[in-house]
A and B are shown apart, each in its own frame.
Chain A
Amino acid sequence: MNSRLRALIRGEFVRLNRYNLFAASFVVSLFYVLMASFIDDAMVLGVMPFIFLLDSTMMTSLLVGATLFYEKKEHTVNSIMVTPASSDEYVTAKLVTSIATSLFTVVFVSLALYALKGVTYKYAHVIFAAVAVTSLHTMIGVRIAYSAKNFTSMLIGFMLYVTVFMFPSVLAMTGVIGPKLADFLVILPLETSANLMRAGFGPGVEPWKIVFGYLYITALTLLLYFFAVKPRFAEYMMREMGV
């Protein structure tokens, strides 16, 4: 890792801390633990995948969006872009920071649940899933923040994403879409993300869905980066350049 990237990542952490975003994320983790502790031991393994899914998708997108939003508001992104740091390094730093934050939640919540209830699960699966899902949703968060005028419109953007991509999964769960057709739902990023998370909590997810899931999420992350995040970075900078 080059020293600039290290410096950018370090900066991200310092700012997450100072802008109280890390604290916010920690409070959310405490809330997850609290929620899980009220749930029956038998049920908790069924709920955990959704808690981790929520964290790696929504919390990731919102945290990344919030940092971009602050940098936009304070015009610091312009300052960073007139240093030797490149936009690739800038986005990579966001990605690494998101992954670290998600993993922190996974580790913290898992430890707490083990201490409180003695539940264990396939940690390696959960960690891999968290890394993949968080990577994808970092890109989604960046992309939504590009076009958001303020924090509220960023939230709305994310809600829209969730609603549109969850809707078919809900139809499948309620039986409106038959099981044959439901297999095709793996092309929905949220459905596949959920499959990867569920795989860490017992059988029930077909192996092909897991293999497909990792390949698909990796491909989507790269596609988003190269076609939606990277090319529009300059345009995003332009629009915010009140300097």
Chain B
Amino acid sequence: MRRVHEFSIAEALLAQVLRHAPTGAQVREVEIRVGALRGIEPEALQMSWEAVTHETAVAGCTLKMDLQPWTITCPECGRSWTSPIPFVDCTCGNTAPAPVGGDELDLVSMTVDEEET
């Protein structure tokens, strides 16, 4: 597949998941949190994840993405709201309220099936 920006992130995530997976456990789901600044295309990351995990110990493991929106603040009227895109107009008529996004890219949790002892 084409080398998209999301591919290297999927590769780094896979290495990290394999590092954290308890021995003998089957990883079912991986949950990540992604700040708006990262500009991640969820479909591209999902496809990359499937590609990099294919035929590995975590093949078939679900990737859950918690995509953080932009926080928009309007200095004219004091309103603040969230938006999937950074450049939006305010209802007060201001065409340039300020967008603030996070740059986090974190592995939040892993859900695993463990053998009962």
A and B together in one complex: no
